Amino acid sequence: MKQVLVLEDESSIRSFVVINLNRAGYEVLEAETGEQALACLAENPDVKVAVLDIMLPDIDGFEVCRRIRASGSNMGIIMLTARTGEMDKVTGLMTGADDYVTKPFSPTELIARVDALCRRVGGEPTVQRGDMRSGPFLLSTRNRTLEKNGQRIKLTQVEYAIIKMFMENPAIALSRESILAAVWGRDYYGELKIVDVNIRRLRIKIEDDTANPAYITTVWGYGYKWGS
């Protein structure tokens, strides 16, 4: 059974999430504080997705997210954000989260997001094995890693999936909708903006000059393209 960690200090919200994830067939590990969540993840290396509340009594959800990524984990991370503060979303994503859900959320919406991330993280069988090269980049589909000029670039699973899609479609304009559908899944409930946020983060990781991107170029009013 796939394991999901739920970090939420408000017990009513936590049990609401846990009940719904259980119903959807997930084994759920619960944490009330950031430190508890990190300890729990250290003991349970097979957790596929973590759902992290942001406002917590000890360290906040962003810090938990940062520490999870710092440990080298590429598990799926979904932030639970309060309705206030658009910046929360962006900051959360910039620290390595894959997705966010705004409170109040419907169980269907949250489960769809968890399902989508689990599929992405949870080892879909790799049809194509081997390496893909493009300019200074080497993408290993076996190890799901990216190197630029021989230097490893740390990617989240979502970022990896986006780069792979680009490298499979060089010099072809890809619409934001098609990227969203391919990477997050057709049943995804989220907003197109999540594509832009991930592209912005990817550019910081791979471009020489993020102000003048050479690898991921913008196709105005449409989407993005690999190369110019």
- Binding residues for Ca ion, rule: CB under 5 A, are 9, 53, 55
Would you say 9 or 168 has its CB closer to Ca ion? 9
As measured in angstroms, the least distance from the Cβ of 12 to Ca ion is 11
| Interatomic CA distance for residues 178 and 159, integer angstroms | 15
Q: Which is nearer to Ca ion, 12 or 128 (CB)?
A: 12
Q: Is the dihedral of CA 187, 192, 197, 199 positive or negative?
A: positive
C-beta of 57: minimal distance to Ca ion in Å?
Answer: 8
Question: 151 Cβ partners below 8 Å, 6+ apart?
Answer: none
Give the contacts of 131 (CB within 8 A, at least 6 positions apart).
138, 139, 140, 141, 142
Amino acid at 58: D
Residue, CB closest to Ca ion? 55
Written as six digits, the tokens of 182 are 């391919």
Cβ–Cβ under 8 Å, residues 97 and 24 = no
Q: Which is nearer to Ca ion, 17 or 117 (CB)?
A: 17
Tell me the closest approach of the beta carbon of residue 215 to Ca ion, in angstroms.
Answer: 38
Contacts of 204 (CB under 8 A, 6+ apart): 210
**Please, what is the minimum distance in Å from the beta carbon of residue 216 to Ca ion?**
35
Question: Nearer Cβ to Ca ion, position 53 or 159?
Answer: 53
Rank residues 55 and 214 by Cβ distance to Ca ion and give the closer one.
55
Given the complex with Ca ion, which of 55 and 171 has the nearer CB atom?
Answer: 55
Residue 53 or 115 with smaller CB distance to Ca ion: 53
Closest contact distance (angstroms) between CB of 61 and Ca ion is 8
Q: What's the closest the beta carbon of residue 111 comes to Ca ion, in angstroms?
A: 20
User: How many whole angstroms separate alpha carbon 214 and alpha carbon 173?
Assistant: 14
Best CA proximity match to 167, nearest among 197, 200, 202:
202
Position 80, amino acid: L
> Rounded to whole angstroms, how far apart are CA atoms 87 and 39?
28
Buried b (16+ CB within 10 A) or exposed e, 213-223: bebbeeeeeeb
Residue 156 Cβ vs Ca ion, minimum distance, rounded to whole Å: 24
